[in-house]
Chains A and B, each alone.
Chain A
C-alpha cells in the first residue's frame, strides 16, 4: 500500500501544490510529523535504547568474569534485575511499550543467569541446551508480552539452538546432503514452519501482524533454501534432488499464498529474485569454455530478460493488489 509520503509527493510533482505551500502540505498530511508524533517517537526510542543499554551492560559485566566480585554478588545482581524487570512489567500498563520492553529485558536476564550458572558450576552441558532451554523458559513471557521483536528474538534462539545441535550430532536423516546442507535444510524447515504458523495466527493476534516480521522470517527461509540449491548446482558431488523439490514447493507456496490468499508484493519479489539466482547459477554452471564470449553476452541478456519479466509481472500484480 503506498504511503502518504508517496501520494503527497505525487501531488506535488503533478503540480497540484504550489512550491510555496509544499511545507504546509507536508505538515497538513503529517508527512512532516507533528510535535506529538515526535514526542512519541523520541519517547519510544529513548526507552528502548536506555533499557537495552542497561541490560547489555549487565551482560558484558558478567561476561567479563571479574574476580573481585564473588559469585554470590553476581547471582544477586542478575536475579535482582530479573525481579526488578518483572516488577516494572507488573506496574506498567499492560500492552504498553514499557511493559513489553521490561519483559524483553527480563528474557535477556534469564539467558544471562543460565549462562552464568553454567559458567560457575561447569555443568558440562552441550552449548545447544543453553539456547534451547533459554527459549523454552522464556516462552510464557514471550506469549504474555505480545511483542513482535520478542517473538523474532525467540525464533533466533531456536535457530541458534538447532544449528548448534546439528553441528554436534547431525540430522537423524542424511537427506543425501553434505553436513552443511543438512544444517541449512533443517534451519529452512524451522523458519518455514515459523512463517506458516505466523501467517495462520496473525489475523487472530494483531501484534503478530506487522509485515516486517513475516518478511524477515520469509527472507531468512528463502535465503537458506536458495543457498542450498545454488550449492547443489555448483557442487558436482551433490546429486540429491531434494533441495530442488523443497525449493520448488517453497516458491509455489509463496506464489499461491502471497498472490491469492494474502497479498504481499515483497514476498513475490523475493520469490522472483530466488528464481533468477537459481536459473542464472544453472546457466553459469553449464558454461561452455569454447564459446565464452557468447556465453557472457547470453548470460547478461538472460539476467536482464528475466529481471524485466519479473518487473513487468510485479508491477501488474501491484496494480491488481491496489485495486
Chain B
C-alpha cells in the first residue's frame, strides 16, 4: 500500500501543519472501490434481479396475480436484503441481496399497479416515489441507494406528468442533485448517502433531457403538447436558469472574500445571458451545472458526466428540427462571441495576480479559524 500511504501521508501533513487533524496517522487499509467497479456491480445487480423476478413470476404464477401476496413477498425480500446488507456480508451474498431487493421492489410495484388497476394515473407512481425515496435513505448499501434514487426520479417524472407539472421536472431534479452535492459535508454520517442519491438523480436527469432531442415520443408524452413552441419548454429552461443561479450564488457565497459586489453582479449577469443564449440547445445548462459543481467538489465522476452530456447536447443541436441551420448558426455565432468576450473581460479585470493577493488573505483567515467562516460546509 506504499503509493496510497505516501499520498495519505502528504495530505495528512498538510492538514497537520494547519492543526486540522487530531490523533496519530493510521493509514487506511482500503479505500472505496473506483466508480467503474461500482457501475459493474450495479449493472449486474439489475440484470440478475430481472432473472430472479422471472423465476418468481414463473414459479408463483397463480400467487402473483394476488396483489397482497406480491406485497408480502416483495416486502419480505427487501427486508431480508436490508438485514443481510446491514451486517456487511460476503461479496456474493451482497450482490445476491442487491438483486433480491430489486426484484422485491418490482413485485411491490406490480402489486401497486394491480391495486390501482391502471398505470395511467399519478397514485401508483406517487406510491413508488415514496417507497423508492425511503429505500434510498434507509438501505445500507451505496449501489442500492443509487438505484433507488434513480427509480424515485423516474417515479417523480411520471408523477409530475400526471399532475401537469412536467415543466418543473428537470429543474426540480437538478436542484435536488445540486443541493445534495453542495451540502454533502453538512453531515459526515450522511455524506455517502447524499453522494449516492445525487448520482441516481443525475443518471436519470441526463437521458431525460436528451429525450427532448432524441426521444420525441417520450418528450411529447411527458409534456402532452408541441414541445418547442410551447411555454412548457421555455418555462423548463427558465427554471433551469434559476437553478443554475442557485449554484453560482452558493459557490460565490462560499468564497465571498474573493469577489467585490460588481464582480458578483457581472458573474450573475454573464450566467443569465449564457443560459438565455443556449436556451434553444436543450440540456446545455444541465451540462454546465454538472461540470461546475463537479469541479467545485473535485468530483471527477460528475465532471466526466458534465463533459459527456455537454458534448452530446451540443452535437445533437445539429439535428434539432425546429430551427433552420441558418438560425442555429446565428445563435452559435452570438454565443461564441459572447463567451469569448466574457473570457476577455475575465483576463483583463480578474487577473491572477490580483486574485492571488486576495487568496493570500483567505489563506491567512483559514489559519485563524476563529476569523474564518464555516458556512461553506
Contacts and interface: CB of A to CB of B under 8 A. Distances in A.
A18 B20 CA distance: 8
Interface in B260-316: 291, 295-300, 314
Contacts of B32: 6
A12 B185 contact: yes
Contact of B298 (A32, A39, A303): A32
B259 to A, nearest CB: 9
Contact of B352 (A25, A29, A39, A300): A39
B336 interface: yes
A304 B92 CA distance: 7
Contact of A27 (B325, B355, B366): B366
B193 to A, nearest CB: 12
A2 interface: yes
Nearest to A276: B44
Dominant secondary structure at the A interface:
helix
B21 A60 contact: no
Given A28-B14, A28-B20, A57 B329 contact: yes
Nearest to A26: B185
B51 A29 contact: no
A23 B336 contact: no
Contacts of B295: 33, 38, 41
Contacts of B7: 1-2, 4, 7
Interface in A10-58: 10-36, 38-39, 41-43, 45-47, 49-54, 56-58
A6 B40 CA distance: 20
A2 B191 CA distance: 18
Contacts of B192: 13
B343 A46 contact: yes
A167 to B, nearest CB: 21
Contacts of B291: 45
Nearest to B323: A60
B188 A300 contact: no
Nearest to B350: A39
Interface residues of A, number: 88
B346 A43 contact: yes
Given A304-B99, A314-B33, 6 more contacts: A10-B28, A16-B22, A28-B20, A46-B346, A47-B343, A303-B99
Interface of B: 1-4, 7-8, 11-12, 14-15, 18, 20-23, 28, 30-34, 36-37, 40-41, 43-45, 47-52, 54-55, 58-59, 90-92, 94-96, 99, 185, 188, 191-192, 254-255, 258, 291, 295-300, 314, 318, 324-326, 328-330, 332-333, 335-337, 339-340, 342-343, 346-347, 350, 352, 355-356, 358-359, 362, 366, 369, 372, 374-377
Interface of A: 1-36, 38-39, 41-43, 45-47, 49-54, 56-58, 60-61, 63-64, 66, 265-266, 269-270, 272-273, 276, 280, 292-293, 296-297, 299-301, 303-308, 310-312, 314-315, 318-319, 322-323
18 contacts: A4-B298, A10-B8, A13-B188, A20-B369, A29-B11, A32-B254, A32-B296, A53-B335, A54-B337, A60-B325, A61-B329, A63-B325, A269-B34, A276-B44, A292-B58, A296-B58, A300-B51, A311-B40
